[in-house]
Amino acid sequence: MSVTWRHLPAPAREIASAAQDAVAAAQARDAGAYEPAVARLAAADRSGLVLGAVVRLLLEQTNPDGLDGDDVRRVLEGCVRSAAQWWPDVDPHVLLVLLASALGVYEPADDENPPGPVAVAGHGPLLVADLLAVTGRPLAGYLEAAFAEVARTELHD
């Protein structure tokens, strides 16, 4: 299914399109298609915020009773194992930071540099693809919900 995202402003449209392409490439384990989609996603301002909201929504849906350390470990290990087979640049630490950030529990230490836009763009779609495999649902609905959540948060801040 192809979604045009015409109803979104241009910056959000680019995030949605790039996210769809990156997640589709991750689902297909296609490194050749993944790299340019990740580059587009990294160049899109606020894409990490949207991907984080998608990851959080997926985590909530796949773990309706809440998450504990074992659940986070399971998600992390599954994603690393799956991605490492086709994308050698996967970094478990970046995935862990993204998971913790999506859950609102990540506070970088004073001497720590959090992952930048390229690392977030390169790893967020891996998490999304893995979590989508559990739900069996398409990305579009989660992106719509993530954009709505980001807009609502920005409106109230």
How far CA 156 is from CA of 7, 105, 111, 152, 153, in Å, comes to: 22, 21, 31, 6, 5
Is residue 150 a part of any domain in this protein?
Answer: yes
Please provide the DSSP assignment of 100-144 as one string.
HHHTT-----TTPPPP-HHHHHHHHHHHHHHHHHHHT--HHHHHH
Helices (H) and strands (E) in the chain, counts: 7, 0
Please provide the DSSP assignment of 11-39 as one string.
HHHHHHHHHHHHHHHHHHT-HHHHHHHHH
Residue 139 has pLDDT above 80, yes or no: yes
The pLDDT of residue 37 is 96
Residue 51 has pLDDT above 60, yes or no: yes
Q: How far apart are CA 29 and CA 129, in angstroms?
A: 10
Is residue 83 a part of any domain in this protein?
Answer: yes
Is residue 74 a part of any domain in this protein?
Answer: yes
**Looking at residues 99-108, what average pLDDT do you find?**
88
- Half-sphere exposure for 86 (CA within 13 Å, toward CB): 15
**Residue 1's pLDDT band (boundaries 50, 70, 90)?**
very low
Is residue 31 a part of any domain in this protein?
Answer: yes
Q: How many domains does the chain have?
A: 1
Mean pLDDT check: name the lowest of 41-50, 51-60, 108-117: 108-117
Residue given tokens 């993530």 in the structure block: 146
Residue 17 has pLDDT above 80, yes or no: yes
Sign of the dihedral through C-alpha 149, 150, 154, 157: positive
Is residue 2 a part of any domain in this protein?
Answer: no
Residue given tokens 């559990």 in the structure block: 134
The pLDDT of residue 107 is 79
Is residue 4 a part of any domain in this protein?
Answer: no
Spatial neighbors of 83 by CB under 8 A, at least 6 apart, are 26, 90, 126, 130
Domain around 119: 10-156
Amino acid (1-letter code) at residue 16 = A
Is residue 3 a part of any domain in this protein?
Answer: no
**Residue 150's pLDDT band (boundaries 50, 70, 90)?**
confident
